[in-house]
Structure 1
Amino acid sequence: MIPAIIVCAAVTLSLRLFPVMLAHRFRDREDLRELAALLPAGLMLILVVYTLLEADSGVQLTRLVLAAVVSVLVNLGVKNFLLGFVAGFLAYSLSGFFF
């Protein structure tokens, strides 16, 4: 049991340490800075599209689109991701009463 814990600890440490060490090496590259700026929005877009494509029914799709629109509008208006997330969650949850 102890050897397994040691191996798991070593793997966890290396998976956290090596990316940080590599990040210092490539910090000044402009293309990586642009990628880092675009990556969160791109990943969020992929997740939203996948969620919308996997909707079970038209009602669920309507609720998901409404929540996405509300979330984007609040995020653009307030410039706060957390408030946009909460607004989208509430829009999806409360739309269940109407659809």
Structure 2
Amino acid sequence: MVPAIIVCAAVTFSLRFFPVLLAHRYRDREDLQEFAALLPAGLMLILVVYTLLEADSGAQLGRLLLAAAVSVLVKLGTRNFLVGFVAGFLAYSLSGLLS
């Protein structure tokens, strides 16, 4: 049992240590800085499109679009991702209760 724990600990440490080591080595590259700046928005766009495409009904699609619009507008207004996320979540939840 102890050898298995040691192996798991070593793998876990390696999976966290080596990416940080590589990122530190290449952090001054301009192309990677641009990629890092665009990556969060690109991933969020992929998740939103996938969610909208997988809507079960027109009502759910409407609720999702409302939540996405509220989330984006609040985020742009407050410049705070967390506030926008919570506002979108509340809009989706409340629209489900009201419909």
Q: Pick the TM interval, shorter chain.
A: over 0.9
CA distance in 2, matches of 1:64, 1:40: 20
| Mapping of residues 34-53 of structure 1, within 5 Å | 34-53=34-53
Question: Alpha-carbon deviations, 1:26-50, whole Å to 9, x = none?
Answer: 0110000000000000000000000
TM-score of the superposition, structure 1-length normalised? 0.97
Equivalenced residue count is 99
2:80 counterpart residue number: 80
TM-score, length-normalised on structure 2?
Answer: 0.97
Q: After TM superposition, which residue ranges in structure 1, 4 or more long, deviate above 3 angstroms?
A: none
Which segments of 5 or more consecutive residues in structure 2 lack a partner in the other structure?
A: none
Aligned-pair CA distance for 1:25: 1.2
Q: Distance in 1 between matches of 2:60 and 2:98?
A: 12
Q: Matched residue of 1:15: which SS?
A: helix
Runs of 5+ consecutive residues of structure 1 not aligned to the other structure: none
State the Cα RMSD in Å.
0.7
Question: Which residue pairs with 2:30 in the alignment?
Answer: 30
1:23, distance to aligned residue in structure 2 (A): 1.1
Q: Distance in 2 between matches of 1:4 and 1:49?
A: 41
- SS of residue matched to 1:96: helix
User: As a proportion of its length, which structure holds more helix?
Assistant: 2
